[in-house]
């Protein structure tokens, strides 16, 4: 019997629904949200299942790899696509959701989500921790400056040691204020030290990977940007064309077309936000800080004169995504071609 399985995963338990080739439910039940527990139930209730589907979520990567290792034909469905398919249900319950996922898997009207490798997830954990520390440090920096303004102290521009010395020199003598500002400064320094430690680890990881070393030959692209790009794509061969990477990372304009209406909007901002942000920063560095003659830089500067600096940097970021993907696939390095 051809069987299809839908999994509605929650943190503690997973609702399981099994349907046959005609869409008739043959079994439903629950089990703990662990790969071994799910595989055991499927081995008993749906041996030789054709496909097993679950939607993307916090536990999806761990469950997907665990179930794959146990021989389960698991596929991950995009949560937004599943929500659209199940939107016509009158009652939203875990049981109904599992049944709906099973029907979607049986029909084949879906595109599986590419699940990242565990190695990429390990590196992305460090990248995510670094990003969070940057945000914490920026928030503390702004908080310190804002609190000092309450007491008439307006600090000049400066970061790092310059900022710390300025705070120490300008902070009011009031003990309560000094204690409050001092606590924030200590937290700011600690976040900075941890950020630097993680960045050193990321640089070591990038130096050990041939692809990251080659990507870093592109002007404006460093170790962190190359690592973020590699872990965001994970597998370059899943993109048929290098120009598709820009759309995957949300660097292409959205479009709305209906009848005589045809509107091009802002970029979609889909996909990996960190990779998109770092590519924009790389484009900014290429256009404003790199002085070496380069056709890509000249193209970006000429574009900026016609459409504005910000839009030109987005276009250069999109071009960088294409170039990085092609370098990754071809095993080459970037060669700066002088502008004619």
315, pLDDT greater than 80: yes
Same domain, 92 and 136: no
Confidence of residue 258 (pLDDT cuts 50, 70, 90): confident
Both structure tokens of 57: 């979520």
Q: What is the mean pLDDT of the chain?
A: 93
Residues 21 and 57 in one domain: yes
Residue 239: pLDDT over 90:
yes
Question: 295-311 pLDDT, tens per residue?
Answer: 999 999 999 999 999 99
Task: Give residue-wise pLDDT tens across range 151-173.
Answer: 999 998 877 788 999 999 999 99
Number of domains in the chain: 3
The reply to whether 153 and 175 lie within a common domain is yes
The fraction of the chain above a pLDDT of 70, given in percent, is 99
Query: SS3 breakdown of the chain: % helix, strand, coil, rounded to 5?
Result: 55, 15, 30
- Cross-sheet strand order for the sheet of 3-9: 25-32, 13-20, 3-9, 51-55, 74-77
Q: State whether 216 and 326 are in the same domain.
A: yes
Say yes or no to pLDDT of 312 above 80. yes
DSSP codes joined into one string, 227-274: HHHHHHHS-GGG-SSTTHHHHHTT-SEEEEEETTEEEEEEE---S-HH
Q: What is the pLDDT of residue 294?
A: 87
In this structure, the answer to whether residues 243 and 182 fall within a common structural domain is: no
Q: How far apart are CA 25 and CA 3, in angstroms?
A: 9
Asked whether residue 336 is assigned to any structural domain, the reply reads no
* Whether residue 239 sits in one domain with residue 154: no
- Residue 339's nearest CA partner among 289, 263, 287 is 287
CATH, residue 25: 3.30.420.40
> Which domain, by its residues, includes 23?
3-107
- End residue of a domain, out of 157, 174, 208: 208
- Evaluate whether residue 156 is within a structural domain: yes
Tokens of 259: 């009848």
> For residue 194, how many C-alpha atoms fall within 13 Å in the half-sphere facing its CB?
18
Residue 26 located in a structural domain: yes
**Based on the domain organization, do 229 and 322 belong to the same domain?**
yes
One domain, residues 173 and 75: no
Q: Give domain status of residue 340, yes or no.
A: no
Q: Are residues 317 and 281 in the same domain?
A: yes
**Percentage of the chain modeled with pLDDT above 90:** 84
């Amino acid at each position: 019997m051809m069987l299809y399985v839908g999994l509605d995963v929650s943190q503690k338990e997973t609702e399981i629904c099994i349907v046959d080739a005609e869409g008739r439910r043959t079994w439903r039940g629950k089990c703990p949200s662990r790969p071994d527990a799910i595989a055991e139930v499927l081995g008993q209730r749906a041996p030789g299942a054709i496909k097993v589907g679950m939607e993307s979520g916090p536990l999806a990567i761990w469950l997907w790899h665990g179930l794959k290792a146990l021989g389960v034909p698991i596929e991950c469905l995009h949560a937004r696509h599943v929500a659209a398919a199940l939107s016509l249900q009158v009652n939203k319950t875990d049981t109904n959701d599992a049944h709906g996922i099973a029907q979607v898997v049986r029909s084949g009207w879906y595109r599986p989500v590419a699940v990242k490798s565990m190695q990429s997830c390990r590196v992305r954990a460090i990248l995510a921790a670094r990003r969070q520390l940057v945000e914490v440090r920026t928030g503390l920096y702004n908080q310190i400056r804002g609190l000092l303004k309450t007491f008439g102290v307006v600090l000049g521009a400066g970061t790092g040691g310059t900022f710390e010395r300025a705070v120490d020199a300008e902070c009011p003598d009031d003990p309560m204020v000094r204690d409050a500002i001092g606590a924030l400064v200590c937290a700011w320094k600690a976040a900075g030290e941890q950020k630097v430690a993680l960045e050193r680890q990321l640089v070591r990881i990038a130096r050990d990977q041939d692809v990251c070393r080659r990507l870093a030959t592109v002007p404006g692209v460093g170790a962190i940007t190359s690592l973020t790009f590699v872990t965001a794509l994970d597998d370059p061969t899943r993109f048929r064309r290098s120009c598709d990477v820009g759309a995957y990372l949300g660097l292409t304009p959205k479009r709305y077309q209906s009848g005589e209406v045809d509107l091009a909007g802002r970029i979609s901002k889909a996909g990996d936000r960190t990779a998109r942000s770092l590519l924009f920063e790389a484009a900014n560095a290429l256009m404003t800080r790199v002085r070496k003659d380069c056709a890509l830089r000249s193209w970006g500067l000429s574009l900026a004169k016609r459409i504005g600096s910000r839009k030109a940097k987005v276009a250069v970021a999109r071009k960088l995504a294409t170039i990085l993907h092609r370098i990754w696939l071809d095993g080459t390095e970037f060669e700066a071609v002088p502008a004619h």
